[in-house]
Amino acid sequence: MKRIGILGLGKYLPEKVLTNAELEKMVDTSDEWILTRTGIKERRIAGQGQAASDLATKAARQALKEAGLKPTEVDMIIVATITGDMQFPATACFVQANLGAKNAFCFDISAACAGFIYGLVTAQQFITQGECNYALVIGSEVLSTVTDWQDRSTCVLFGDGAGAVVLGEVKSGGILSSYLGCDGTKTGLLNLPGGGSRNPTSQKTVEQRMHYIKMQGNELFKIAVMSMAEAAQIALKRAGLKCADVQWIIPHQANLRIIDAVAKRLGFVNAKVYVNIERYGNMSSASTAIALVEAVQEGLVKKGDIVLLDAFGAGLVWGAVIMEW
């Protein structure tokens, strides 16, 4: 059985920082509410005209450099995103052109905040089957473009960014197990209703602000905790490991209280939890990717460590990956 692991990592965060203090001037909120309810202090906002593929390309270039690969050596590009450049073509196609990765086949994955994990597992299958040798998996979001800046219940939560990894065969370690889940009966809890074939863009959809994220955060909170805990438990079981074997939990960064509740529910004793939500907010598919990149680049994750990636998002979808670093 081939071992598939990460050969290079990269990230890109837009320069513009939007603080809680600035949000206080835009909607009826407070730094105190945002910090205590979510753990977020500030988030990044993409520049005018910066699309998901622009962020993804910058992150991908770093990951390729670290992996020591030329763009033409990449066989597959997967971009996990819910804020792609356009309805079609896939954002991955724009990234391919930007990189000059002309030998890669390309597609997007729409699995919201679990998108990076869905992407990793998908790429792993292609490499294991021998369909390709090197895959770029990128989580990239410009959520600021679909955020309703008049809705205080959502606009304080989200940010923009991209994280990328190169996946390929490794001699030791790599992905040990994974688990992906979905409950399609709860699509109503978190969605962007306008602009698709259900509600094509019209004056009415724009007037009703249907081109922005709609979320029932409170309902989602409990499901997020349960689903992430369950995904972690199943992935651990599949790897033949226990919670005590894990050194690093790298969760999706939607809410610090969700992260704490998941770790508590799992009864993690030895593991450390990587958190960067205070700097970036929730960047959907990019959150888990950037958290992994930073945990490694900061020298926290050491060779041989068991790492758990765990995420939950709109769909509802969730998933976990266990890796040996």
Give kind and range of the element (H or E) at residue 217: helix 217-239
Return the residue of 7, 95, 138, 224 that touches ligand ACO, per CB under 6 A: 224
Using the rule CB under 6 A, is 254 a contact of ligand ACO? Answer: yes
211 tagged catalytic: no
Binder of ligand ACO out of 80, 156, 175, 271 (CB under 6 A) = 156
Picking from 192, 188, 235, the residue whose alpha carbon sits closest to that of residue 211 is 192
282 is catalytic: yes
| Residue 147 within binding range of ligand ACO, rule CB under 6 A | no
- 93, 106, 113, 155: which is the annotated catalytic residue? 113
Pick from 113, 246, 273, 306: which binds ligand ACO (CB under 6 A)? 113
Reduced to 3 states, what is the DSSP secondary structure of residue 233? helix
Of 270, 267, 262, whose CA–CA distance to 288 is shortest?
A: 262
Per rule CB under 6 A, is residue 91 in the interface with ligand ACO?
A: no
Distance CA 12, CA 160 (A): 9
Contact 306, 324 (CB under 8 A): yes
252 is catalytic: yes
In the chain, the amino acid numbered 289 is A
At residue 145, φ and ψ (nearest 5 deg) are -80, -15
Between the two ends of the chain, the Cα-to-Cα distance in Å is 18
Minimum Å gap between C-beta 253 and ligand ACO is 10
Tell me: cis bond preceding 316? Omega within 30 of 0 counts: yes
Q: Judged by CB, which is closer to ligand ACO: 116, or 134?
A: 116
Using rule CB under 6 A, residue 146 touches ligand ACO: no
Q: Contact with ligand ACO (CB under 6 A): which of 79, 112, 231, 321?
A: 112
Contacts with ligand ACO by CB under 6 A lie at 29, 33-34, 37-38, 112-113, 152-153, 156, 190, 217-218, 220-221, 224, 254-255, 258, 282, 284, 312-314
Residues annotated as catalytic are: 113, 252, 282
